[in-house]
Amino acid sequence: MIYDICIIGSGAGASPVIYELTLAGYKVAVLEKGEILTEKDFSKDELTVRRDIYTPPLQDEYHVIEEKIDEQWHQFPTYETGWNFWNGSILGGSSNFMSGYFYRLKPNDFKLKSTYGNFKDDNTVDWPISYDDMEKYYDKVEKVVGVSGVVSKHPHLEPRSSKEFPYPALQEHPITKKIDKACHELGYNPVRTPRAIISTQKENRNACYYSNYCGSYPCSSGAKGSGRASLIQPIIGKKNLTIISNALVYELKTDENNKIKEALYINKKSENKKSIKAKVFVLAAQAIESSRLLLNSKSKSFPNGLANNSGNVGKNFLSTGGGMGIGTFDASSMPLKELMIPGLFVNRSLKDWYFTKKFKGGTVDFLFEHANPIRKANSMKWGDNGLLIGKELQDNVFSEFTTKKKLRFEIFVDWIPNDDCYIFTQDKYKDKYGIPVANIRIGSHPQNEKVGEFLAQKSEAVLKQMGAKDIHTDISPLPSQNLQAGGCRFGNNPKTSVLNKHCQAHEVENLFVTDGSFMPTGGSVPYTFTIYANSFRVADYIKTYMKSV
């Protein structure tokens, strides 16, 4: 069988295309590396999640990190270090595990070079599209995927066609009142964080039930707007939709016209090699793995990898840096009865310095520690004089869980694309299937840390004003493992970009890349909302393109 469209991946970049093309009546095949799971398969079991049952074992499938130490680049396979860039190999991908902070990019995010110019060793470029091209798709995501919240006025609020979010704000923890008060006293403008978590029922999805297990955990209620829950499960019974699980795609084969004719994949359970043919292929395996697949798909026409005769595949990889801080609250800060309420959201952020006159700033999010009680209790076994045992340990654990709470802030800066942050492959490192793994050089531009330190000072001031104790901050040049973009940036010039403005490969007409790979810059926010919106935008173009295939 030759399908109309084959989609590799099923997360935020893939699910809108799956949804739109299936509803349009095309024969759609989805190649998903992981299992097909639903809400009944998910639990709030910290050990299950920490054992990474939703991601490949690092001994079997890994990445190689290339880090600069003492002015020399050193390579570290992740099975040696435990650093893990896998974010969810199941239907819906990493969108199952997101925290769901859904901020739109701002108009100037699409033209950073025009706004600020370039720093030294900076590969920032303007996008080939504008905010106006994306606005209706942001609006569509809010309604179809489901976003809850209140539109807060702040100095950098973007234009909106809908005055409010379609779902009411989630219930908030009492500490938000202290955050708001402290911010107002400092002259800041607290923002009520929009979340891709529904507060009321939507079709077959239940509202959030405030389990206290959200970020990094799959959602057992269906409230979280994963690609699986919001877009794929509603259409999973359609006869024109075929989902093939445990399908690890390792090569895309082209014909004499430089079009992809088939995808070669390994069934991860049987380890048998198979293939699938289609008229159009959409790649959305998350940024690192999408670059890896293209680089490994070599041929006579593409000796350096598919769609890579310009040498741009894998280049200008993006993450999000900045760092984090934390402060402790106890009965001296607010009544314990209020402080220790579990499950309710903090949902406060700061965007006062999203743009500054001289440089691009960022976003600050406030949140409690993720609910990892086993890890937290385990950290209590050490005291000033060494290992704690017996009653001393018991008292320490009891005190930690019943008398105090730690409020964090996370900083999101606009990761500056540069020549020392990119994806490549080499024959030296291969996974258990004999496929060259992705190597990730993680060079961070110095400006990332400068912005992070600037925002940390502003954030620490809030914690101090609130009366927090033991405040400390960690500003790091290292990328976030769970936020990936770039590597196949889009643009109008085929010599400097991989994709055109429709996310269609310049050199391979029937190939589209719709995960975060397309982004030339990432904005100072998590990428998922923009990936969703762009995927809906590209889906509209593919429907038009299919008429000519």
pLDDT of residue 50: 63
- Residue 62's nearest CA partner among 48, 75, 50 is 75
CB 511 within 8 A of CB 305: no
Q: Is the Cα torsion angle 322, 126, 512, 424 positive or negative in sign?
A: negative
Which residue's entry shows tokens 């190649």?
31
| Residue 453 host element (H or E) | helix 446-466
Give the chain's radius of gyration (CA, Å): 23
Taking residue 348's Cβ as centre, other Cβ atoms within 10 Å add up to: 25
* Alpha helices (runs of H) in 82-192, residue ranges in sequence order: 112-116, 131-141, 175-186
Whole-prediction pTM: 0.97
Q: Could you please report the per-residue DSSP string of 331-342?
A: TTTS-HHHHT--
Main-chain phi, psi angles of 73, to 5 degrees? -85, 130
- What is the model's pLDDT at position 359? 94
User: Do the beta carbons of residue 156 and residue 357 sit within 8 Å?
Assistant: no
**Using CA atoms, how far apart are residues 38 and 320, in angstroms rounded to an integer?**
29
Measured torsion, CA atoms of residues 524, 519, 435, 274, in degrees rounded to the nearest 10: 120
CA–CA gap between residue 373 and residue 472 (Å, rounded): 21
How many H-runs (helices) and E-runs (strands) does the chain carry? 13, 21
DSSP 416: P
Give me the pLDDT at residue 425, please: 98
Backbone torsions φ then ψ of 440, nearest 5 degrees: -120, 110
Q: What is the DSSP letter of 345?
A: B
Which H helix or E strand runs over 544? helix 528-546
Distance CA 312, CA 140 (A): 31
CB 513 within 8 A of CB 284: yes
Residue 254 carries which side chain, given as an amino acid letter?
A: T
The pLDDT of residue 225 is: 98
Regions of the chain where pLDDT drops below 70: 50-51
Residues 3, 85 contacting (CB under 8 angstroms): no
> What is the per-residue pLDDT for 149?
98
Closest CA to 179 of 465, 473, 469, 452: 465
Structural element, H or E, at residue 283: strand 273-283
Cα dihedral 457, 458, 460, 465 in deg (nearest 10)? 140
Q: Is 76 helix (H, G, I), strand (E, B) or coil?
A: strand
pLDDT in tens, 261-281: 999 999 999 999 999 999 999
